[in-house]
Structure 1
Amino acid sequence: IKEYSRKIADTQGKSAGFKVNLREGDVNWHEVMKALDEIGYNGWTTIEQPGGNTPEGLKDLCDRLVQIIAS
């Protein structure tokens, strides 16, 4: 599931809508997690976003993923 911001896309162009941080776009992560729970998914989760190349960036991505999983 790619994070996307319609607001940014509308002002900066369609491709710019994908250049948002995890949890800062339009994805309703609560509903995504609810749907995964309903089908009994308990597999891997990965993040494919820039920022994981420094300890601070990796912590930020981890914190964002924890917030999604907790939703």
Structure 2
Amino acid sequence: MEIVRTVTEVEVRSAPTFASPSTADHWSDLLLALAGRLDRGLIYDRDVRKLLPAMTVLIGSFDRRAR
């Protein structure tokens, strides 16, 4: 008599998803974290250049709103 057992291994991976911050506190935390990474040099220069257009729009929007 021969017994055959089949073992199936399943690995489930999930891709990270981005959820937009829903509160001013969460936005503030994210922006402070970005500022800290920039200050510590943890973001490559090539990536800083990629952030420039979005940051320019953000700063302009914030300036208009805060007046």
Greater RCO structure (CA 8 Å; 6+ sep): 1
Task: Look at both structures and tell me which one has the larger radius of gyration over its CA atoms.
Answer: 2
Structure 1-normalised TM-score?
A: 0.29
TM-score for both structures, normalised by structure 2: 0.30
